[in-house]
Structure 1
């Protein structure tokens, strides 16, 4: 098995929304904002190369939306899924599985492309993996979360016949060397892959921990549907991560790809940061 970082570009989100009740005077020390209070975030996917299987975890925001949509998010950087795959000697047609931690637009947008007036899957040879509970949550969204679940990102997956569901169960073995945990605070039934790799466990933490700046327990996004649930899940996960010496793969941290954790007088904090390729 080999793991590869797939960079899909950067975007900006409001710093206050990303840090919830934490004052700007505190969070801007780790994530400085621009004049519009917007902070830069990565959209970092992960590719699992395992024999004949090529599994892509999350797909970034994509490029099919109109200029008005993208104007809200200030996309920048030279990376894309296609370019990152090509740099590794792969193409979109080589992907056998697309694993979607959840269906918010910055995680699933690159899974679908525009074909004239229609929307089709970007990875035509792949199975697309979600879970039934989150899928239903996304196709019948609440008013607060509706703007994150775009029909053009979701419905074409089902129409393609490529949609598969992971069984919802605690720390379920999805396939050899990959277990799945579930989290319910950010959105209902978000999936967190745990990958056994070179004698370590790498956890793709998705939006449970967007960045190293979110490690302190009160640093919970205003985007989270159930912030007190996130608080509990985050505390339990951090304790487990320290105890078992997990490596965290950070999807949104603009600088750090991976980190390990340690206990300090202030709580659980970063021990080391490094690139996945350094393992």
Structure 2
């Protein structure tokens, strides 16, 4: 098995929304904001080469939305899926599987491309993996999340015939890739857990957006069940420290991977590093 970091666009989101009830006087120390209170984030994806499989986890924002839509998020940077894949000698046609941790637009927007008036999958030879619980949640959205579940990102996956569901009692990815779950951010968000070089890497999706979110109460305002998130984080954090997991961070603009440790203040950052350092 070989793992690759796939860097895509940087974007901005309101710092208050990203840190919920935590005051700016605290969170700005790790995630400084601009004059409009916007903090910089990234969409960092993980590519897994495992035998004949080439598995991409999440797809970033993509580029098919309107200029007005992207104007809300201050897209910047020169990275893209295509550039990152080419760096390692791959292209979109090589992708065999796409694991969508959840269907918020910043995680699945790149799953679909627009060609004229038509929408089609970006990865024409890939299976797209969600799960039945989250798919039903996303296709019948609640008012809180409706603006994040965009039909043009979701419906064409099913229409293409490329949609597959992960079943909790079955593992379609082999013994070294396990799917874990979290339900506080959104229903049945998937967290891929990978055995790699005698280590365990946990893809954090939106359970841990950045190292600035490590303290348990630092929960995003976007989470639909914040108290559930805190409880899930408490349980995961203990396991992560005890088992010495490496965390892969999707949205942290600076830190790609990190480890955690027990301190007098609770579980906190131990080390941060690049995937290539493993």
- When normalised by structure 1's length, the TM-score is 0.98
Is the Cα contact below 8 Å between 1:119 and 1:152 reproduced in 2?
Answer: yes
- C-alpha distance 111-173 of structure 1, shift in aligned 2 (>3 A): closer
Query: Which digits, 9 at most, give the CA deviation of each residue in 1:165-224, with x for residues without a partner?
Result: 00135x968422001111000000000000000000000000000000000011000000
Structure 1: tracts of 5 or more residues without a match: none
C-alpha distance in 2, partners of 1:217/1:154? 31
C-alpha distance in 2, partners of 1:138/1:221? 19
1:156 aligns with 2:147: no
**Partner SS, residue 175 of structure 1:** coil
C-alpha distance in 2, partners of 1:204/1:106? 16
Root mean square deviation of aligned Cα = 1.1
1:137 aligns with 2:131: no
Aligned residue in 2 for 1:188:
187
Is the Cα contact below 8 Å between 2:166 and 2:172 reproduced in 1?
Answer: no
Is the Cα contact below 8 Å between 1:173 and 1:180 reproduced in 2?
Answer: no
C-alpha distance in 1, partners of 2:228/2:182? 9
Is the Cα contact below 8 Å between 2:13 and 2:41 reproduced in 1?
Answer: yes
Aligned residue in 2 for 1:230:
229
Aligned residue in 2 for 1:212:
211
C-alpha distance in 2, partners of 1:260/1:125? 35
1:9 CA displacement: 1.4
Aligned residue in 2 for 1:59:
59
1:118 CA displacement: 1.1
Is the Cα contact below 8 Å between 1:14 and 1:38 reproduced in 2?
Answer: yes
For these two proteins, the number of residue pairs brought into alignment is: 278
Aligned residue in 2 for 1:81:
81
1:48 aligns with 2:48: yes
Is the Cα contact below 8 Å between 1:215 and 1:269 reproduced in 2?
Answer: yes
Is the Cα contact below 8 Å between 2:137 and 2:187 reproduced in 1?
Answer: yes
Structure 2: tracts of 5 or more residues without a match: none
C-alpha distance in 1, partners of 2:173/2:118? 32
Is the Cα contact below 8 Å between 1:194 and 1:203 reproduced in 2?
Answer: yes
C-alpha distance in 2, partners of 1:86/1:151? 29
1:51 CA displacement: 1.3
C-alpha distance in 1, partners of 2:102/2:65? 19
**Partner SS, residue 70 of structure 2:** helix
